[in-house]
Each structure stands twice: as C-alpha cells, then as structure tokens.
Amino acid sequence: MSLRERSETPESMVQIRVAMATCGIASGAKIVMDYMINELDKRNIPAIVTQTGCMGYCYAEPTIEVTRPGHQPLVFGFVDSKKADQIIEKYIKNGELLDGIIPVNYENIEGK
C-alpha cells in the first residue's frame, strides 16, 4: 500500500484529507476514503490519503480537502464516488476546478 506510507517529501505529493468524524462517516466518508485510496493507486497517482476530524461543514458531508503540490488546499463538499472520480480526473490530474468547492471562511490561530 504505497499510498498511505509516510513520505519524506509529502509536499511533492497530492495530499488528501477526508473528514472522518461520526457525521462524516454516517454520510459515507469511509466509502469515499476507500475509493480514493484504491483509485489513486490504480491510476498510479502518488498521493497521501489521511483521515481527519470534523471540518465543520456538516451540511456538505462527506467533505474532503485536496492539496496539490504548490497549491492552496481546497475543500470539496458532497463527495460521493462519482464526485471523487471527477476530483481525481479533473482537479488532481489537471488542476481544473469543480463546482461545489467550499471556500475557507475562518481564520486559524497561526494568522493571529
């Protein structure tokens, strides 16, 4: 399982975080996470897929955050397998954005 291995240079890879709190899992985050891991592996895209806690966007679960090397992280909402496939094909491969990105609307403590 090459995908989840910790890398010495994670910045050079696509990083994906799946919001896996109870609410996320209840709306299918686990399925999305498995799908992401398997499909990225099949399509030979080096990536790190990890789980994380609640991002706060309960209305748009399952949510995932994708960081392409050298780019700002983007959060996608309402991700099912179909949407996950589009994210891989369009955004991860080509940098093409998709409808339904959730804009960051908060400040974190680093900025303060």
Partner 1 sequence: MTQYKMHLLVCGGTSCGASESEQLFQNLKNEIIEKGLENEVQVITTGCFGFCEKGPIIKVLPDNTFYTQVKPEDATEIIAEHVIKGRRVNRLLYINPETKEAVSDSKHMGFYRKQLRIALRNCGFIDPENIEEYIARDGYAAIAKCLTEMTPAQVIEEMKKSGLRGRGGGGFPTGLKWEITSKSQADQKYVVCNADEGDPGAFMDRSILEGDPHSVIEAMAICGYCIGATKGVVYIRAEYPLAVERLKIAMKQASEYGLLGTHIFGTEFSFEIDIRYGAGAFVCGEETALIHSMEGFRGEPTIKPPFPSVSGYLGKPTNVNNVETFANVPVIINKGADWFASIGSEKSKGTKVFALAGKINNVGLIEVPMGTTLRDIIFEIGGGIKDGKKFKAVQTGGPSGGCLTEKHLDIAIDFDSLTAAGSMMGSGGMIVMDEDDCMVSIAKFYLDFTVEESCGKCAPCRIGNKRLNEMLEKICAGKGTMEDLDLLRNLSYVIKDTSLCGLGQTSPNPVLSTMENFYHEYLAHIVDKKCPSGQCKALLQYVIDEENCVGCTACARNCPVNAIAGERKGMHIIDQSTCIKCGACLEKCKFNAVFIK
Sites of contact with partner 1 (CB under 8 A): 17, 19, 21-23, 25, 50-60, 65, 77, 94-109, 112
CB of 21 to partner 1, least distance (A): 4
At 107, phi and psi to the nearest 5?
-105, 145
**Residue 91 CB partners (closer than 8 Å, separation 6+):** 66, 68, 74, 97, 98
Question: Nearer Cβ to partner 1, position 1 or 109?
Answer: 109
Question: Nearer Cβ to partner 1, position 42 or 70?
Answer: 70
**14 near 69, Cβ under 8 Å?**
yes
Question: Nearer Cβ to partner 1, position 2 or 101?
Answer: 101
d(C-alpha 24, C-alpha 61), whole Å? 6
CB of 96 to partner 1, least distance (A): 6
Tokens of 89: 């094909």
Question: Nearer Cβ to partner 1, position 60 or 85?
Answer: 60
CB of 85 to partner 1, least distance (A): 17
CB of 43 to partner 1, least distance (A): 15
| Identity of the residue numbered 88 | I
How many C-beta atoms surround the C-beta of residue 31 within 10 A?
A: 15
